[in-house]
């Protein structure tokens, strides 16, 4: 019986194309090439190939085992973006649903009679086209835009083979008698010439090679994904039990519920004009729908209906200017209308339900066809929230809802889940700056809706969701931002690599919203209880815009646990978190508001909102001391400040390696940036915001610095990152745009908790000794060099010889004083050259000064010196409103004595470089953050041992000696002479294994070293020797 169940080999069919041609632009838009003996496809999409194959000869009762499209390449050109032999080339393959003729098809027409539905060249919609969707021409049943090919295998006079097994099976099952295909250029495409069916070489004509086998039974049609049964309305974010609980909270006068209701009432003052506070009608529609649901007051219902009518006046997409806006912002509008439909469902007339449902369905179809699907850019999360909210609201009510549900799940599983289980597995969404929280919350919302609407536990499908609790917990700075009158305070969220905005704007509010959902979902875990405690009270001012999420999650009734009150906080929540997806380490001294907070970031470059700053670090104590700098110019991502400073390596606490010939290209829309003194490479010629296919095909390009060793104990936290791939190196150097400048670069951070000290050790090997290496340290406030000889270049630049010590000072009076300072000691390179560069000065009262490119008010109350200096030019930001609101003296929220933040995030930087050129250099710095504006710092001195560089840090009877290998080679032995007074000892860069440790005056003992390469002794003095056992 088992033998009879197996298919029996039957036949191999060679189906030669029954029609083939290509179209061409370049002045040939109306020309047909159907009689040509060749098919041409170019890398820019100006030539695309069309093929038709008959399926009528397939024998009945047989199974298709394999189906391959075969094209014989007579010529393969190089990629004009650069010679990139190490990268795969891609092509796109689609089915064609518009009827076409071999003798009539052109760039302008499928048959010489009528135009393509999508326009000349079948381009799809334009970026600014927010109108209704045209009928599709291609890609209805087969859409493979990125098929990766090995360039070494795609050469002239060879067959190109593409697997079509699943597609051909599907077409045959549904009765198709022919298939029509389109081949077009894709990522890193080449110029191809293939034989056509008119070629005299008959054996090299295009064909489908179909292998069949006798099947014992007819193969069933593919099963569609089951659609779960939806809960009764209301079901978005609510269950019958939670709705009763929330209504009771409002009736009891719970603080957040009352504050939210008052805010809703105040917003309705603008309802007649379609306004809701300073927000769009969608926020009015959504908030009043929820108010109706919780109170039963029909006044709210009537207002929700009125807002909805304004929204229904136009298609969703036509409310916006372009595809990005209609996706990113449009998702919030669609979500609001889905909530309106769901929360008001039982009190909507049938015609009202139909109108809203039709609007929602059209929005979902438009989004599916037109929006991009980046894995880590804000459009990606918005697209998922949009598709999910429509499907989950309409399930059980509309016959099209099951198909929309399947599209939503397909989008999540195909486009987002692979990234969330890769780069997002540590809880970071992958976007940059304020957008990280927005993108992340869109995804979290989809999971929450799925749970309440259909009982699907999306939260369990990726570690992203639970680890996002840790990401927010560790991403909050220790100090809270306190309102001028002390009426409220809020946590400030660190700015994930990229679009920095200071002072509590969207980037600070979004993590609260995700925290509300995740603390509710994981309410019984210590991580959720810790996050709820650290967040504290939800502010009812400033964050009133997102109060509804605190209401829906019943924020004040979520369990909280004060980590400061625990006998052993480390047993509940370690003081460090390693995000393995974005290769980021967070470190804290403790869980108090006076804690030291340290970030070490090496995230993939997968969003245009992120920066080229792998290996950067930040230090916060009292306030942000060692800071990443630059400002997002209020969405102006192409501003000179953005391109030439914010997104460049020079803006972070990073390393520069200066190759004078290096070029930077491939920012937004392929824009070029100026030379920044030796920063990290871009992804060019790849995109900065990849979809899942591009990311998975070229993952090693998007992945940059990577943490390869990590260790954490109560006494210390340690991480080593390989930063080599972040720079132009043999790993990747933008094709022929650049040459490798780095052969090896690593950075190690060691935080000593008892001494509250960070040690930073860098090893840099350049490909040429003349490539200058520079170590950067930024200050938002003052920066003073304490020793050495100063040479003043001008009021914004000072050079030093013989200097080793500098101090950052920054802080605000605020209602709660938060001054901080940080000592930086340069121990290596010996005889380093130090440059202090930056500065701006306040103008006398009443005086202002214009600055080119300031798109907001054109006048600053200060004069910029070199605060954003890059390659001979200063690039200060404009003055975006979110900075002005809190950061300008004229703002009603401004705290007297606070620095004028409208000048930009950044003021001075320290540059440290070797005094003589060399291939290999090491940098050793010790940074000691402290609270207050004055007071002593630890004593720091350099140590050395054979093959190792080290430092000794002493303060108040405590002392620790640390050593790092001078070279990248891991060591198997260590010998040093330590001070006679006992010190703690940390040695890094050791090979894994058991070491015989010999301390002065003590018998030998065996100490294991793990994969982290660290050996830590709490006490040692005098002569010390370690040897790896054999």
Please write the tens of the pLDDT for every residue from 293-313: 999 999 999 999 999 999 999
Q: Are 941 and 951 in contact (CB under 8 A)?
A: yes
pLDDT of residue 385 exceeding 90: yes
Give the single-character DSSP code of 410: H
Q: Nearest CA to 904 among 885, 870, 869, 880?
A: 880
pLDDT band at 893; cut points 50, 70, 90? low
Q: Which pLDDT does position 540 carry in this prediction?
A: 85
pLDDT value at residue 328: 93
Q: How far apart are CA 82 and CA 1003, in angstroms?
A: 62
Cα dihedral 725, 728, 731, 734 sign: positive
With a CB cutoff of 8 Å and minimum separation 6, the contacts of 24 are 31, 33, 40, 46, 47, 107
Q: Which of 346-355, 448-457, 892-901 comes out lowest in average pLDDT?
A: 892-901
Which structural domains are found in the chain, ordered by start? 2-214 (2.60.120), 240-569 (1.50.10.100), 574-735+753-758+765-921 (2.70.98.70), 938-1028 (2.60.40.2750)
CA distance 853 to 414: 41
pLDDT of residue 887: 58
Helix 401-411 to helix 350-370 angle, to the nearest 10 degrees? 30
For the segment 26-48, the average pLDDT, to the nearest whole number, is 96
Confidence at residue 631, expressed as pLDDT on a 0 to 100 scale: 80
For 494-650, strand residue ranges (E) read 576-579, 584-588, 597-601, 616-621, 623-626
* Average confidence (pLDDT) over 994-1010: 94
Lowest mean pLDDT among 491-500, 724-733, 840-849, 1007-1016: 491-500
Mean local confidence (pLDDT), 605-626: 93
Confidence of residue 879 (pLDDT cuts 50, 70, 90): low
Q: Is the pLDDT confidence value at 559 over 60?
A: yes
pLDDT at 506 > cutoff 60: no
pLDDT of residue 899 exceeding 70, the answer is: no
**What's residue 267's pLDDT?**
96
User: What's the confidence (pLDDT) of residue 849?
Assistant: 74
Give me the pLDDT at residue 878, please: 72
Q: CA geometry: angle at 956 spanning 953 and 961, to 5°?
A: 20
CB 478 within 8 A of CB 588: yes
Measured CA distances, 184 to 31, 72, 92, 95 (Å): 18, 16, 5, 11
**Any idea which of 186-195, 476-485, 716-725 has the lowest mean pLDDT?**
476-485
Distance between CA atoms of residues 213 and 62, nearest Å: 5
DSSP state of 755: T
Partners of 148 in beta bridges = 90
> What band does 2 get if pLDDT is binned at 50, 70 and 90?
very low
| pLDDT at residue 881 is higher than 70 | no
Per-residue model confidence (pLDDT) at position 5: 40
Confidence of residue 857 (pLDDT cuts 50, 70, 90): very low
Model confidence over 146-187: pLDDT tens digits? 999 998 888 999 999 999 999 999 999 889 999 999 999 999
The confidence score (pLDDT) of residue 151 equals 86
Q: Could you tell me the pLDDT band of residue 218, with boundaries at 50, 70 and 90?
A: low
pLDDT at 486 over 80: no
**Which pLDDT band, with edges at 50, 70 and 90, does 508 fall under?**
confident
User: Across residues 554-578, what is the average pLDDT?
Assistant: 87
pLDDT of res. 854 = 54
**pLDDT of amino acid 9:** 58
Q: What is the mean pLDDT of the chain?
A: 91
What pLDDT does residue 858 have? 55
Note the helical H segments in 703-804: none
In the chain, the percentage of residues whose pLDDT exceeds 90 is 76
Residue 1025: strand, helix, or coil: strand
Residue 632 to residue 641: CA distance in whole angstroms? 8
Among the residue ranges 7-11, 13-17, 958-962, the one predicted with the least confidence is 7-11
Q: Is the pLDDT of residue 21 over 70?
A: yes
CA distance 874 to 864: 8
Angle between helices 281-295 and 240-252 (to 10 degrees): 90
Residue bearing the bigger pLDDT, 797 or 483: 797
Residues making up the chain, counted from first to last: 1030
Band of residue 256 on the pLDDT scale cut at 50, 70, 90: very high
Which pLDDT score, from 0 to 100, does residue 851 have? 60
Structure tokens at 589: 């001294």
Which pLDDT score, from 0 to 100, does residue 186 have?
93
Reported as a pLDDT band with limits 50, 70 and 90, residue 863 is confident
Evaluate if residue 672 carries a pLDDT over 50: yes
User: Residue 252's Cα: distance from chain center in Å?
Assistant: 42
The average pLDDT across 996-1015 equals 95
Q: What is the pLDDT of residue 369?
A: 94
Residue 257 has pLDDT above 90, yes or no: yes
Is the confidence at residue 578, as pLDDT, over 80?
yes
The arithmetic mean of pLDDT across residues 674-701, rounded, is 93
- Are the C-beta atoms of 603 and 428 separated by less than 8 Å? yes
At residue 896, the pLDDT reads 60
CA distance readout (Å), 833 to 305, 779, 913, 942: 68, 19, 5, 17
Average pLDDT over residues 366-385: 94
Residue 73 pLDDT > 70: yes
């Amino acid at each position: 019986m088992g033998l009879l169940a197996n298919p029996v080999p039957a036949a191999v069919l060679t189906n030669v194309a029954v029609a083939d041609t290509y179209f061409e632009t370049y002045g040939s838009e109306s020309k047909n090439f159907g009689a040509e003996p060749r098919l041409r496809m170019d890398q820019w999409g100006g030539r695309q190939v069309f093929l038709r194959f008959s399926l009528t000869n397939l024998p009945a009762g047989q199974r298709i085992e394999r189906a391959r499209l075969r094209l014989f390449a007579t010529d393969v050109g190089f990629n004009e973006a650069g010679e990139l032999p190490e990268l795969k080339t891609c092509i796109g393959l689609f089915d064609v649903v518009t009827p076409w003729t071999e003798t009539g098809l052109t760039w302008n027409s499928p048959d010489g009679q009528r135009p393509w539905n999508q326009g000349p060249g079948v381009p799809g919609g334009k970026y600014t086209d927010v109108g209704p969707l045209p009928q599709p021409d291609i890609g209805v049943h087969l859409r493979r835009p990125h098929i990766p090919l090995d360039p070494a295998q795609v050469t002239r006079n060879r067959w190109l083979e593409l697997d079509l097994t699943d597609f051909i099976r599907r077409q045959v099952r549904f009765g198709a008698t022919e298939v029509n295909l389109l081949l077009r250029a894709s990522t890193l495409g080449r110029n191809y010439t293939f034989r056509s069916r008119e070629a005299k070489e008959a054996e090299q004509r295009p064909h489908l090679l179909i292998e069949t086998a006798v099947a014992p039974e007819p193969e069933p049609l593919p099963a569609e994904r089951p659609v779960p049964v939806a809960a009764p309305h209301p079901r978005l974010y609510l269950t019958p039990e939670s709705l009763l609980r929330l209504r009771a909270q409002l009736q009891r006068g719970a603080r957040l519920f009352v504050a939210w209701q008052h805010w809703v009432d105040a917003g309705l003052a603008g309802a007649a004009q379609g306004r809701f506070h300073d927000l769009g009608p969608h926020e009015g529609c959504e908030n009043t729908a929820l108010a109706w649901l919780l109170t039963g007051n029909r006044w709210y219902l009537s207002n929700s209906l009125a807002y909805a009518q304004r929204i229904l006046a136009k298609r969703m997409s036509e409310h916006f200017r372009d595809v990005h806006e209609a996706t990113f912002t449009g998702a919030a509008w669609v979500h609001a209308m889905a909530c309106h439909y769901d929360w008001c469902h039982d009190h909507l007339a049938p015609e009202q339900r139909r109108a809203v449902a039709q609007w929602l369905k059209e929005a979902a179809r438009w989004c599916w066809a037109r929006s991009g699907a980046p894995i880590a850019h804000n459009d990606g999360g918005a697209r998922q929230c949009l598709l999910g909210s429509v499907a989950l609201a309409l399930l059980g009510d509309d016959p099209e809802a099951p198909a929309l549900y399947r599209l939503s799940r397909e989008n999540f599983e195909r486009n987002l889940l692979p990234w969330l289980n890769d780069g997002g597995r540590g809880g970071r969404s992958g976007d940059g700056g304020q957008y990280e929280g927005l993108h992340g919350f869109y995804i979290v919302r989809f999971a929450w809706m799925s749970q309440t609407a259909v009982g699907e536990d999306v939260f369990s499908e990726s570690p992203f969701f639970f680890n996002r609790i840790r990401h927010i917990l560790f991403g909050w700075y220790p100090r809270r931002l306190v309102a001028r009158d002390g009426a409220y305070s809020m946590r400030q969220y660190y700015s994930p690599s990229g679009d920095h905005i200071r002072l509590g704007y969207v980037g600070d509010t979004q993590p609260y919203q995700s925290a509300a959902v995740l603390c509710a979902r994981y309410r019984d875990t210590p991580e959720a209880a810790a996050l709820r405690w650290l967040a504290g009270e939800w502010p009812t001012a400033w964050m009133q815009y997102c109060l509804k999420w605190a209401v829906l999650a019943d924020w004040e009734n979520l369990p909280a646990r004060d980590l400061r009150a625990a006998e052993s906080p480390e047993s509940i929540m370690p003081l460090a978190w390693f995000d393995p997806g974005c290769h980021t380490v967070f470190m804290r001294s403790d869980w108090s508001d006076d804690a030291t907070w340290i970030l070490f970031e090496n995230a993939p470059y997968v969003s245009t909102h992120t920066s080229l700053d792998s290996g950067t670090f930040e230090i916060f104590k009292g306030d942000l001391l060692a800071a990443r700098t630059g400002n997002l110019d209020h969405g102006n991502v192409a501003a000179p400040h953005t391109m030439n400073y914010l997104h460049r390596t020079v803006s972070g606490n990073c390393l520069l390696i200066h190759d004078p010939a290096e070029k930077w290209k491939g920012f937004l829309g392929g824009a070029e940036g100026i030379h920044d003194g030796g920063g990290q490479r871009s992804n060019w010629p790849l995109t900065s915001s990849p979809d899942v296919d591009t990311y998975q095909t070229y993952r090693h390009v998007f992945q940059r610095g990577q943490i390869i060793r990590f260790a954490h104990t109560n006494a210390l936290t340690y991480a080593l990152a390989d930063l080599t791939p972040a720079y132009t190196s043999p790993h990747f150097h933008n094709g022929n745009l650049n040459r490798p400048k780095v052969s090896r670069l690593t950075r190690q951070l060691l935080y000593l908790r008892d001494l509250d000290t960070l040690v930073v050790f860098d090893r840099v090997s350049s490909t040429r000794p003349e490539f200058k290496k520079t170590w950067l340290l930024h200050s938002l406030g003052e920066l003073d060099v304490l020793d050495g000889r100063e040479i003043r270049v001008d009021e914004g630049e000072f050079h030093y010889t013989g200097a080793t010590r500098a101090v950052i000072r920054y802080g605000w009076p605020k209602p709660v004083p938060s001054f901080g300072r940080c000592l930086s000691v340069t121990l290596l390179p010996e005889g380093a050259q130090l440059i202090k560069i930056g500065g701006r000065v306040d103008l006398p009262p009443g005086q202002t000064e214009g600055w080119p490119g300031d798109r907001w008010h054109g006048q600053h109350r200060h004069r910029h010196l070199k605060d954003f200096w890059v390659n001979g030019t200063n690039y200060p930001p404009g003055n975006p409103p979110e900075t002005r609101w809190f950061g300008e003296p004229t703002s009603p929220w401004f705290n007297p004595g606070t620095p004028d933040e409208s000048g930009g995030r950044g003021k001075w930087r320290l540059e440290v470089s070797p005094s003589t050129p060399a291939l290999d250099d090491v940098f050793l710095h010790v940074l000691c953050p402290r609270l207050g504006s004055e007071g002593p710092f630890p004593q720091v001195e350099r140590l050395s041992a054979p093959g190792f560089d080290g430092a000794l840090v002493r303060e108040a009877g405590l002392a620790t000696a640390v050593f790092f290998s001078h070279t990248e080679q891991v060591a198997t032995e260590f010998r040093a002479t330590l001070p006679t007074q006992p010190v703690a000892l940390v040695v890094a860069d050791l090979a894994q294994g058991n070491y015989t440790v010999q301390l002065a005056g003590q018998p030998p003992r065996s100490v294991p070293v793990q994969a982290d390469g660290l050996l830590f002794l709490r006490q040692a003095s005098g002569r010390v020797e370690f040897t790896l056992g054999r």
